[in-house]
Amino acid sequence: MKKRLLIILSVLTALVLVGSVIFYIYFNFFYAKSVNLTYGDSLSNIDVYTHDGEKTDFLNTPSKYKVIFYTSNHCQACLNDLEAISRIMKLYNSNNFEFAILWEGGLPENRIKKAGIEIGKNYSLKNQVKLSSLTPRGFIINGNNKVVFTSDADLELLTKKILEIQGNV
């Protein structure tokens, strides 16, 4: 009797694990719409949510340039870059630039606070859209919401472009 119960529990556990893996793969690779942003593309039609889960028009607000750090809470490199991103946001803050972190899924609020980043500068795509196959990624968006620069994990290259746009080559 005990062997039979153990076999049934083992089979049920295996089914739950296999189901979880299938759900994860489906949700993360097939469910989310993939948009591979490159130079000249627009972000106007992408739904963005605040840290409270409210839909926002952040991407459509008028500003000369937006620097968007595209990250994922499942990406260790992204989480490790938060302190460097915080420094960039503080060092290059000006009237010509608006900085934000756009998370693919949920926001790791404890890590964000630990890095000293204002929670209101963080937004989510709620796993509905993927902007790139790679994270972390940096985008500079002009006032017309068009991508004028994109960079993979190279924060130094992104800061050089910010300086160039500011006129401090």
Per-domain residue ranges for the chain? 1-31, 33-166
Check residues 28 and 47 and name the one with the higher pLDDT. 47
What is the reported pTM? 0.76
Is the per-residue pLDDT at 83 higher than 90? yes
Is the per-residue pLDDT at 91 higher than 90? no
Is the per-residue pLDDT at 132 higher than 80? no
- Average of pLDDT values for 81-91? 92
* Confidence grade of residue 136 (pLDDT, cut at 50, 70, 90): confident
CA dihedral 105, 108, 111, 116 (to 10 degrees): 80
- Per-residue model confidence (pLDDT) at position 32: 56
- Average of pLDDT values for 75-104? 89
- Per-residue model confidence (pLDDT) at position 113: 93
Is the per-residue pLDDT at 47 higher than 60? yes
- Per-residue model confidence (pLDDT) at position 28: 56
- Average of pLDDT values for 42-51? 84
23 CB burial (10 A radius; 0-12, 13-18, 19+): exposed
* Confidence grade of residue 115 (pLDDT, cut at 50, 70, 90): very high
Domain 33-166, CATH among 3.40.50.300, 3.80.30.20, 3.50.50.60, 3.40.30.10: 3.40.30.10
Is the per-residue pLDDT at 3 higher than 90? no
* Confidence grade of residue 168 (pLDDT, cut at 50, 70, 90): low
